[in-house]
Structures are given as C-alpha cells and as structure tokens.
Amino acid sequence: MKIYLVGGAVRDKLLDYPSDENDWVVVGGSPQEMVDAGYQAVGQDFPVFINTQSGEEYALARTERKSGHGYQGFAFHTAPDVSLDDDLIRRDLTINAMAQDTDGSIVDPHGGQQDIIDKVLRHVSDAFTEDPLRVLRVARFAARYHHLGFTIAPETLALMSTITASGELQYLVAERVWKETDRALCERSPDIYIRTLRDCGALTVLFPEVDKLFGVPQRADYHPEIDTGIHTLMALQQAARLSDNSPIRFSVLVHDLGKGITPDHVLPSHKGHEARGLPLVKAVCDRLKVPNEHRQLAMAVTEFHLLCHRALDLQPEGILTLLKAVGALKSAQRLEDFLTCCKADARGRTGFEDRDYPPSAYLRQARNIARKTDIADLVASGLVGADIGRQLSLRQIAALTVFKQNYSE
C-alpha cells in the first residue's frame, strides 16, 4: 500500500499559491486495510477514508466509466491493482493530474508541470466531456489563476462547448452548481468565471438572466461602457476589489437583471429596472437554492441601489425609508454590505473605477442620527405599539432634517 499527495495541493505547491487542502490517494490498498490502519470510512459512491488525527481525506485509487447523466452518472471501480496512472488519467486538468511521493518526487504523466510553466489550463483526455461539472470547475480555475496569466487551452474550451451542446449541464443538481459558483465568486477574478461560462455557451443554460444582459445598451452619459453585460462584469471586478464576501459579490452579479428585460422601445433608458429585476433575482435564488444571506442582500441591492446613489438628494423621509428598507437600523453590517455593493456598481463603469462614493459616509452618519433618537419619554408617557413607532419616525425625520441641512462632505 502506497500513499500519494494528489491534485490541488501538488498544483498549488508548484505555483507557490496558498492552499489549505491536502488530498491523498492510496494505491494497492483495500477498504479493510484502511480500516485496520485506523482510518474512518466515509462516502457512499466510492471508498473514501478520513485520517482521524488530521481530518484529511484518503481515497483508494479508482477508475470510472460513464453510466448516466450529470456528474453523478459514473460507476467507480476500486481494487488493489488500480495504478496511480489509472487514477490520474480520470482527472480533469493536467495541472490537477499530478501526484507527489513521500520522498517529494512529482509523478506527472500528463505534462502538468509544463502547463504550469506555460500557464495553460488543459484537459487530460477526451474523457473530460463525460462530466459536465468540469465546465464549471475549469471556469472556476480560470477565475482563480487569471491574475497569474493562465488561459484555457482552445481545445479544452472547445470540449466545454461540446458539453454545453450535449445538454448534460441540465442534469447538474442545483446544490452543486451553486457550490461551484459560490467558490468561483470568491476567487481572485470572479468576472472571469462568468466570461468563461459565456465563451462556451454555458451561461445561457445556467444563468440565462445574466446572459441576457450582454448586448443590451445603456445611456452612454451614465455608462460609457454601454453594454449592460460588460458593466456587470466591471461591477463584479470592483466588488472583488472591495470585499471577499460572497453575498456581496453575488448581489453585484445580479443587481441589474431587470435591464435584461427592458422593452426595446424604451432603450437605452432602463427606468424601472429595479422592480423588474426582483422576480428575476428571486428566480435565480430559488433555482439554485441560494442561501438566505445572499438572497436578502441581493434583493435589497437590486431594489434600492439607485436610491443609494441619489442618497444626498433624498428628503429626510426618503433617507429614513431607505435605511429601514435595507435593514440598516437593525444592523450596521447590513448597511456596510449594502453600501459596498452600491459602491461596486457605481465604480463598475469606464472611467469611474477609482471614484469616491459620497453616499457611503452620508448614510452612515444618517444611520447614527436615526439610531440615537430617544423615545424614553414616549414610553414613560404610556404610548404603546404602533403609536410609539409613529412618534419615533417623526422624531427621526426631524433629526434627519437638521442633519441634512448641516451636512457637508
């Protein structure tokens, strides 16, 4: 029985890239031998074991063959006679099909080290097309390593297009699509994930609401980049600059979905796109089972990002309404996340990438004013319930009126 470090840990060590995961493959072993050695068996589809001391996964070397649709449609075979080469050839990319021996030597049967030098994401074999999840995985790796100069080999992108055309993407379960997307959004260049999916036709299958934004014009005086899809990618780039928070990046990705269904006779204006976008954002969240934290922020940003941009022009009543609507009075963090999304949107335009965003400081101060409004005397006077709420709002509006009159940037 021989154990090798495989996949991402080897790849990232060669790249000198941060990695927090170690995966191991066991050659020449059996399930019983693993249990006897003190490993804990997990997994139903094929034998995977946990080292109870490190918590790391050890999988028996295996082969696979296509037996159905989707990434789960495979039959796996493990046996002591399955070699390391047999295991590595089933992997997606050459840079993921390397192993490291206990003495530190690299086993690289498919040229992964050369592709790291050449900065190429290349498939291992034509069996690549059997697993539709690999379209998302390659797009995610493209997002991770884009800043290092990595590109997808043309022949690999062609196979990704072949997978899309086959209809196999439709068999991916929602949870797995979301998991890959969530991880991709947290990579260094999340916009590259979206670009790559679009390049191979997968965006229209997995995120048709986002795909419809490309080619839709906007007013050049507000959006010099014109194209709504390009603006979305630029805003996503800005979100990545501002925060590594997944809900923020997702919210920026979907904030303008309403522009994708603006009637042609209205273009290039998009008046009312906020309200039009809400059902589309909800549909994406429902379809992919997006977590509530992402959903709530995305809905707030979609509905109120234009009001945020115009915050300094709002009347005191409007300021209070906005603060309440985005949950700012209940949570300072909710306001910060909302402001970060709106700042990314404002900066995601040609020539605006490094502009200040005055609404941030303005709304933070407005929130503090509204939160400091005292109602102790109202409670002492015997007012209850809705009456207290109404009086509190009146006092907050009065305080915000003074704030607005005296505010200076």
Per-residue pLDDT tens for 342-352? 999 999 999 99
**Whole-number average pLDDT of the chain:** 92
Q: Which overall architecture, per CATH, does domain 119-199 show? A: Orthogonal Bundle (1.10)
> Same topology for domains 1-111 and 119-199, yes or no?
no
Q: Among residues 46, 81, 80, 84, which one has the least CA distance to residue 64?
A: 46
Neighbours of 332 (CB within 10 A): 13
Each residue's pLDDT tens digit, 266-300: 899 999 999 999 999 999 999 999 999 999 999 99
Q: Which overall architecture, per CATH, does domain 1-111 show? A: 2-Layer Sandwich (3.30)
Secondary structure percentages of the chain, helix, strand, coil, to 5 = 55, 10, 35
Give the per-residue pLDDT at 78.
66
Give the per-residue pLDDT at 41.
83
The domain 207-368: what is its CATH number?
1.10.3210
Give the per-residue pLDDT at 338.
98
User: Is residue 197 scored above 60 in pLDDT?
Assistant: yes
Query: DSSP letters of 160-196?
Result: HHHHHHHTGGGGS-HHHHHHHHHHHHTSS-HHHHHHH
Q: What is the mean pLDDT of residues 116-125?
A: 97
Give the per-residue pLDDT at 65.
61
Q: What is the mean pLDDT of residues 352-368?
A: 97
Predicted structure pTM score: 0.90
Neighbours of 77 (CB within 10 A): 13
Q: Return the minimum-mean-pLDDT range out of 22-31, 57-66, 106-115, 296-305.
A: 57-66
Give me the residues paired with residue 99 across strands: 6, 107
Q: What is the mean pLDDT of residues 355-361?
A: 97
Give the per-residue pLDDT at 46.
60
Each residue's pLDDT tens digit, 367-398: 999 999 888 887 788 777 788 889 999 999 99
Q: What is the mean pLDDT of residues 330-341?
A: 97
How many whole angstroms separate alpha carbon 172 and alpha carbon 392? 50
Give the per-residue pLDDT at 73.
45
The residue that leads in pLDDT, 403 or 78, is: 403
How many whole angstroms separate alpha carbon 306 and alpha carbon 320? 15
Q: Residue 76: which pLDDT band, with cuts at 50, 70 and 90?
A: low
Q: Among residues 82, 148, 83, 145, which one has the least CA distance to residue 109?
A: 83
User: Side by side, which strands form the sheet with 57-60?
Assistant: 40-42, 48-50, 57-60, 23-27, 2-6, 99-100, 106-107
Q: Where are the domains of the chain?
A: 1-111, 119-199, 207-368, 369-406
How many whole angstroms separate alpha carbon 97 and alpha carbon 110? 7
Using CA atoms, how far residue 169 sits from 65, 122, 125, 132, 390, in Å, is 18, 20, 19, 6, 52
Q: Residue 34: which pLDDT band, with cuts at 50, 70 and 90?
A: confident
Each residue's pLDDT tens digit, 54-74: 888 888 887 766 545 544 544
Give the per-residue pLDDT at 53.
78
How many whole angstroms separate alpha carbon 279 and alpha carbon 261? 11
Q: What is the mean pLDDT of residues 186-201?
A: 98
Q: Among residues 209, 303, 219, 298, which one has the least CA distance to residue 261?
A: 209
